[in-house]
């Protein structure tokens, strides 16, 4: 087969245009580097998204037939992609979510933008499990500071008296006023000593640069037509492209990293989905930011006589220590919210208040390590596909309007049922815990020896199981949510999950926070990359997504991916200047 | 004000250009250029529309027919028993529920067997109890039958298949009705429009027994 070689040698080739790749492209291009940016998906700009679409504008009313989070969600992709399989080792599960589009998952992510705190980089020192990062919060703080100001994030700095000392201060835009039901959560959680505080989301409540402030339509997951929330194509790629230094190649599926006899990276080969032809890009430095597992896949697939186990994998650790956040949920119905007063409760596309992890595991002698934060949802959302589904499970819980009970229990039809839908609409509040797993070598992805995708690229096989740590944490979530719902005077919308379902913990991968798999460390025998996300084996190869994480936190990963990518990109510029790479 | 509308028109036109080239152009972009513009954009109006947009693939599904005429009649009668008209809004068929269910059978074909079999179950049970198909029964008889499957907790275990069918059918009707314009108006959902969020109104706070005094230590947008 003919391979088309680009005549030009770029300073840098970046694979992936999401959070990590977008930040690297911007930083490197603005510093004057010529950049080839390879993106496996098509062009996307949220200006053309489905904002303001009503469900009745589509015959499927927004059903998730083709997109896991509903028809109007911005994700091109999901847990399964035609022609791009992955496999799982028998008896284990990992569900791998991939967005194939310019900007990747940043187009429709939840915009929860939390810094990791000082303890999150030193967990082993706290509880003896896993490993410490080779960097500390102080090393990364300046980058978080700059990202807050560059991208925009709302929130508040927490008063010391709240004791939230693992939730660092930042540079915040004012947060949106809480919704009434969020105040109700706070009022009741105050009684339980669970702090409820303004959330931290990368949504503009004030104009920033060319981007106008949010107009509170609550549809961030569809992409924002005014670019008021953060996504890579809204915030990072425009300035990158404006430098004139970036050659953006979409529909370009990277196959492997190419190397020379010295073992240095010389570029990337890719297949173009537009013409099905093979191409190579030559570059002096290669940055992988294809989402953590895809980065591991590229490294493992880049085999040569010099690197028989894959590029940058002399440690054998590429693919190991895969992590996803833990997740568990419970929701309640609240009589005081039934027959709610109509008003526009949309607000931003996400919670205005949340609960950071509030317990010291050691002091409280909890039977699990690491914590979780709690996300709040509910209220009078736009009626959408699945509206009050399963109402027969709960519409008898509060009896009739006159206080009488329903002898036949839930369900029904006719005038009373129609009235029930009105009574129950907007009367729910739900709680989702998102927590920290312990990094284990035994949770990993590797190349499946038998299976290739439709371009002949060997695919990943996952091997992931929750340990007792995560399952006990999920139990704590269920107990906490039940206590909160009862304190608020509500009733559970569905039964609390028990031991038979591992306390409702979601399957690994379902929270879509894949990190790890090319973790950073000082010791080249234990970690594929150093503290600047530079391969120990191949000094002009870098990773700029979540693959370098040593541990997850009880926080979502993207703000840290962005900070690390900025730091790595500036290190590349520095090393270039010094002639080291 | 005019300026601001122009900003939105530019943006709206970009929205409908579509395609790779247009997207790339709009990346170096869009709308608000001056600081005044960005300030004003805070109050901008978006054009929303009620227009039904049907893609080519969806049109193909719509051109196929899943339900027989008799099945469609049964779906319609059943849906209207579940959501009848009242003084606030019309009934399920007035909100397009039968057409929505017909579409979903082709869009998500895994529902087909359960739906078709459930409708058949209903007719067989009607025959057994009242010697006629469901749509030919009097409303009173129809309700007598529904009373046996609409309340899972007290239903006779021998009716469990009917109960399960009815639970699913009820959910389809609820989505179909309450995602229609009629249903959304009925619920008095007020959102999906550009606005400046300033918090919940006093009567809502009062109803929930909360107050912004509880968070007065923080400055909000
Ligand atoms: C529904 C949802 C909600 C989320 N909510 C939050 C949240 O609230 N807060 C938070 O911090 N995180 C959240 N996340 C996670 C967040 O989206 C990711 O952490 C973040 O996008 C990761 O950035 P990335 O650059 O590593 O990967 P991505 O953003 O996924 O970008 C990777 C890019 O690489 C491309 N690519 C992949 N393989 C190749 C290849 N072989 N060749 C070329 N290109 C390739 C992909 O097409 C993609 O565009 C959420 C995710 C989802 C899906
Ligand atoms: S809520 Fe705000 S940021 Fe989110 S999509 Fe709407 S306008 Fe954009």
Q: Do B42 and A386 touch (CB under 8 A)?
A: no
- Which tokens in the block code for residue B51? 């227009």
CA–CA dist A61, A384 (Å, integer): 7
Average pLDDT over residues A423-442: 98
- Which tokens in the block code for residue A265? 């990276």
CA–CA dist B28, A233 (Å, integer): 10
Q: Which positions in chain A touch B197 (Cβ < 8 Å)?
A: 176-177, 216, 346-348
Q: How confident is the model at residue B39 (pLDDT cuts 50, 70, 90)?
A: very low
Q: Is A336 on the interface with B (CB under 8 A)?
A: yes
Q: Is A346 on the interface with B (CB under 8 A)?
A: yes
pLDDT at residue number A84:
98
CA distance A391 to chain B (A): 8
Q: How confident is the model at residue B28 (pLDDT cuts 50, 70, 90)?
A: very low
pLDDT at residue number A405:
96
Ligand nearest to the CA of A106: 1
pLDDT at residue number B52:
82
CA distance B148 to chain A (A): 10
Ligand nearest to the CA of A279: 1
Is residue B14 over pLDDT 90?
no
Chain A interface disruption, residue of B197, B207, B214, most A CBs within 10 A: B197
CA–CA dist B86, B186 (Å, integer): 11
Report the nearest atom of ligand 1 relative to the CA of A97. Answer: 53
pLDDT at residue number B48:
64
CA of A16 to the centre of ligand 1 (A): 9
Q: Do A382 and B194 touch (CB under 8 A)?
A: no
Q: Do A59 and B52 touch (CB under 8 A)?
A: yes
Q: Which positions in chain B touch A408 (Cβ < 8 Å)?
A: 151, 153-154
Which of B26, B189, B194 minimises the CB distance to A217? B194
Ligand nearest to the CA of A68: 1
Q: Do A56 and B96 touch (CB under 8 A)?
A: yes
Is residue B22 over pLDDT 70?
no
Instruction: Say if CB B174 and CB A147 are below 8 A apart.
Output: no
Residue pairs between chains A and B whose CB atoms are closer than 8 Å? 306
Residue carrying structure tokens 């895809």: A294
pLDDT at residue number B50:
79
- Which tokens in the block code for residue B124? 């067989």
Report DSSP letters for A355-380, one per residue: E-----TTTTT-SSSS-EEEEEEESS
Q: Is A157 on the interface with B (CB under 8 A)?
A: no
Lowest mean pLDDT among A35-39, B19-23, B52-56: B19-23
pLDDT at residue number B46:
53
Ligand nearest to the CA of A561: 1
Residues 6+ apart with CB under 8 A from A418: B83, B84, B86
pLDDT digits (tens, 9 = 90+) for A223-252: 999 999 999 999 999 999 999 999 999 999
Nearest 5°: the CA angle A426, A432, A436 is 165
Alpha helices in A211-288 (DSSP H): 237-242
Write the burial class of residue B128 (CB in 10 Å: 0-12 exposed, 13-18 middle, 19+ buried): exposed
CA–CA dist A91, A111 (Å, integer): 33
Q: How confident is the model at residue B49 (pLDDT cuts 50, 70, 90)?
A: confident
- Which tokens in the block code for residue A140? 């990364």
Q: How confident is the model at residue A48 (pLDDT cuts 50, 70, 90)?
A: confident
Q: Which positions in chain A touch B209 (Cβ < 8 Å)?
A: 184, 187, 336
pLDDT digits (tens, 9 = 90+) for A525-576: 999 999 999 999 999 999 999 999 999 999 999 999 999 999 999 999 999 9
Is residue A210 over pLDDT 90?
yes
Closest residue to atom 33 of ligand 1, CA basis: A16
Report the nearest atom of ligand 2 relative to the CA of A347. Answer: 1
Q: Which of B179, B187, B172 is nearest to B95 (CA)?
A: B179
pLDDT at residue number B37:
44
CB atoms within 10 A of CB B97: 29
Closest residue to atom 6 of ligand 2, CA basis: A217
Ligand 1 pocket residue status of A20, Cβ below 6 Å:
yes
CA–CA dist A174, B215 (Å, integer): 13
Q: Is A414 helix (H, G, I), strand (E, B) or coil?
A: helix
Which of A177, A389, A396 minimises the CB distance to B220? A177
CA–CA dist A20, A9 (Å, integer): 22
> What average pLDDT is seen over chain B?
84
pLDDT at residue number B35:
39
Q: Is A177 on the interface with B (CB under 8 A)?
A: yes
- Which tokens in the block code for residue A79? 């847990």
DSSP state of B162: H
CA–CA dist A142, A234 (Å, integer): 23
Average pLDDT over residues B160-189: 98
Chain B interface disruption, residue of A200, A207, A212, A222, most B CBs within 10 A: A212
3-state secondary structure A7-41: EEEEEEEEECCCHHHHHHHHHHHHCCCCEEEECCC
> What average pLDDT is seen over chain A?
97
Pocket test for ligand 2, best of A51, A151, A224, A350 (most atoms within 8 A of CB): A224
pLDDT digits (tens, 9 = 90+) for A130-181: 999 999 999 999 999 999 999 999 999 999 999 999 999 999 999 999 999 9
CA of A546 to the centre of ligand 1 (A): 9
Instruction: Say if CB A291 and CB A283 are below 8 A apart.
Output: no
Which of B62, B178, B190 minimises the CB distance to A421? B178
Report DSSP letters for A97-151, one per residue: -EE-STTGGGGTS--B-----GGGG-HHHHHS-S---SS-HHHHHHHHHHHHHHH
CA–CA dist A64, A77 (Å, integer): 12
Q: Do B153 and A55 touch (CB under 8 A)?
A: no
- The number of CA neighbours under 13 Å toward the Cβ of A75 is 22
CB atoms within 10 A of CB A303: 17
Edge to edge, the sheet with strand A87-88 lists A87-88, A458-463, A444-452
pLDDT at residue number B47:
56
Residues 6+ apart with CB under 8 A from A118: A136, A137, A165, A166, A168
Q: Which of A148, A123, A155 is nearest to A137 (CA)?
A: A123
Is residue A513 over pLDDT 70?
yes
Residues 6+ apart with CB under 8 A from A249: A36, A37, A38, A39, A270, A272, A281
ipTM: 0.95
Closest residue to atom 8 of ligand 2, CA basis: A224
Q: Which positions in chain A touch B207 (Cβ < 8 Å)?
A: 180, 336, 340-341
CA–CA dist A566, A143 (Å, integer): 7
Chain B interface disruption, residue of A44, A213, A418, A427, most B CBs within 10 A: A418
pLDDT digits (tens, 9 = 90+) for A343-402: 999 999 999 999 999 999 999 999 999 999 999 999 999 999 999 999 999 999 999 999
Residues 6+ apart with CB under 8 A from A348: A176, A201, A203, A205, A214, A216, A218, A220, B197
CB atoms within 10 A of CB B209: 12
pLDDT at residue number B53:
78
Is residue B27 over pLDDT 90?
no
Q: How confident is the model at residue A40 (pLDDT cuts 50, 70, 90)?
A: very high
pLDDT at residue number A7:
85
Which is higher by pLDDT, B45 or A309? A309
Report the nearest atom of ligand 2 relative to the CA of A228. Answer: 3
CA distance B128 to chain A (A): 22
CA–CA dist A513, A38 (Å, integer): 22
Is residue B34 over pLDDT 90?
no
Is residue A219 over pLDDT 60?
yes
Q: Return the percent helix, strand and coil in chain A, to nearest 5.
A: 25, 20, 55
- The set of protein residues with a Cβ atom below 6 angstroms from ligand 2 is A 203, 214-220, 224, 226, 228-229, 348-349
Chain A interface disruption, residue of B168, B192, B216, most A CBs within 10 A: B192
DSSP state of A503: G
Q: Do B190 and A343 touch (CB under 8 A)?
A: yes
Average pLDDT over residues A28-34: 98
- Which tokens in the block code for residue A6? 């680009």
Is residue B7 over pLDDT 90?
no
Q: Is pTM, for the whole model, over 0.90? A: yes
Ligand 1 pocket residue status of A293, Cβ below 6 Å:
no
């Amino acid at each position: 087969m003919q391979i088309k070689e680009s005549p030009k040698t770029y300073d840098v080739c970046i694979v992936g245009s999401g959070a990590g790749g977008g930040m690297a492209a911007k930083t490197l291009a603005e510093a004057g580097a010529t950049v080839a940016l390879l993106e496996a998906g098509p062009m996307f700009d949220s200006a053309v998204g489905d904002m303001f679409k009503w469900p009745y504008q589509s015959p499927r009313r927004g059903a998730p037939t083709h997109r896991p989070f509903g028809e109007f969600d911005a994700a091109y992709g999901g847990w399964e992609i035609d022609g791009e399989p992955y496999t799982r080792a028998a008896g284990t599960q990992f569900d791998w979510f991939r967005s194939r589009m310019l900007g990747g998952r940043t187009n429709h992510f939840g915009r929860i933008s939390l810094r990791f705190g000082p303890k999150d980089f030193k967990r082993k020192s706290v509880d003896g499990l896993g490993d410490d990062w080779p960097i500390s919060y102080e090393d990364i703080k300046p980058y978080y500071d700059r990202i807050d100001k560059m991208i925009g994030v709302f929130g508040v700095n927490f008063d010391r008296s709240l004791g939230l000392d693992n939730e660092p201060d930042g540079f915040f835009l004012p947060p949106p006023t809480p919704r009434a039901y969020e105040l109700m959560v706070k009022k009741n959680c105050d009684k339980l000593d669970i702090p409820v505080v303004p959330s931290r989301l990368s949504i503009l409540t004030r104009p920033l640069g060319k981007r106008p402030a949010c107009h509170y339509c609550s549809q961030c997951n569809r992409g924002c037509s005014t670019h008021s929330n953060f996504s890579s194509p809204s915030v990072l790629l425009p300035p990158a492209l404006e430098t004139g230094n970036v050659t953006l190649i979409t529909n370009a599926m990277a196959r492997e990293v190419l190397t020379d006899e010295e073992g240095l990276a010389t570029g990337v080969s890719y297949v173009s989905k537009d013409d099905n032809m093979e191409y190579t890009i030559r570059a002096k430095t290669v940055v992988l930011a294809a989402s953590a597992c895809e980065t591991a896949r590229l490294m493992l697939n880049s085999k040569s006589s010099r690197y028989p186990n894959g590029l940058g994998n002399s440690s054998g650790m590429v693919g190991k220590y895969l992590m996803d956040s833990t997740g568990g949920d419970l929701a309640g119905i609240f009589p005081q919210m039934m027959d709610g007063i109509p008003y526009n409760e949309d607000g931003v596309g996400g919670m205005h208040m949340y609960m950071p992890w509030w317990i010291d595991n050691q002091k409280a002698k909890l039977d699990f390590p690491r914590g979780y934060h709690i996300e709040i949802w509910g209220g009078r959302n736009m009626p959408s596909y699945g509206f009050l589904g399963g109402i027969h499970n709960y519409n008898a819980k509060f009896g009739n309007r006159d206080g009488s009970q329903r002898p036949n229990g839930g369900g029904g039809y006719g005038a009373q049922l129609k009235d029930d839908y009105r009574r129950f609409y907007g009367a729910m509040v739900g709680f989702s815990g998102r927590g920290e797993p312990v990094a284990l070598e035994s949770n990993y992805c590797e190349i499946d020896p038998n299976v290739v995708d439709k371009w002949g690229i060997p695919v990943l096989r996952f091997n992931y199981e929750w340990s007792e740590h995560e399952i006990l944490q999920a139990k704590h979530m269920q107990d906490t949510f039940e206590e909160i719902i009862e304190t608020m005077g509500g009733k559970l919308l569905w039964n609390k999950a028990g031991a038979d379902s591992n306390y409702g913990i979601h399957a690994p991968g379902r929270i879509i926070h894949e990190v790890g798999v090319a973790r950073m460390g000082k010791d080249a025998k234990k970690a594929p990359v150093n503290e600047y996300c530079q391969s120990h084996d191949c000094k002009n190869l870098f990773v700029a997504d979540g693959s370098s994480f040593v541990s997850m936190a009880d926080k979502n990963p993207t703000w840290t991916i962005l900070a690390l990518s900025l730091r790595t990109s500036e290190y590349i510029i520095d090393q270039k200047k010094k002639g080291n790479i | 004000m005019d300026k601001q509308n122009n900003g939105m028109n530019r943006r709206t036109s970009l929205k409908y250009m579509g395609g790779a080239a247009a997207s790339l152009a709009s990346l170096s972009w869009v709308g608000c250029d001056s600081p005044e513009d960005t300030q004003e954009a805070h109050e901008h109006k978006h054009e929303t529309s009620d227009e039904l947009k049907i893609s080519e693939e969806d049109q193909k599904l719509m051109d196929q027919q899943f339900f027989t005429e008799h099945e469609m009649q049964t779906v319609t009668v059943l849906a209207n028993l579940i959501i009848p008209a009242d003084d606030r809004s019309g009934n399920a068929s007035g909100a397009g529920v039968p057409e929505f269910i017909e579409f979903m059978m082709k869009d998500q074909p895994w529902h087909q067997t359960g739906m078709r079999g459930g409708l058949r179950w209903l007719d067989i049970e009607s025959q057994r109890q009242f010697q006629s198909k469901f749509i030919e029964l009097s409303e009173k008889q129809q309700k007598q039958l529904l009373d046996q499957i609409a309340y899972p907790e007290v239903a006779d275990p021998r009716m469990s298949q009917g109960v399960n069918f009815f639970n699913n059918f009820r959910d389809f009707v609820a989505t179909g009705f309450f995602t229609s314009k009629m249903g959304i108006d009925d619920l008095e959902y007020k959102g999906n429009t550009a606005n400046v969020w300033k918090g919940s109104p006093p009567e809502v706070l009062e109803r929930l027994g909360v107050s912004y005094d509880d968070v007065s230590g923080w400055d909000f947008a």
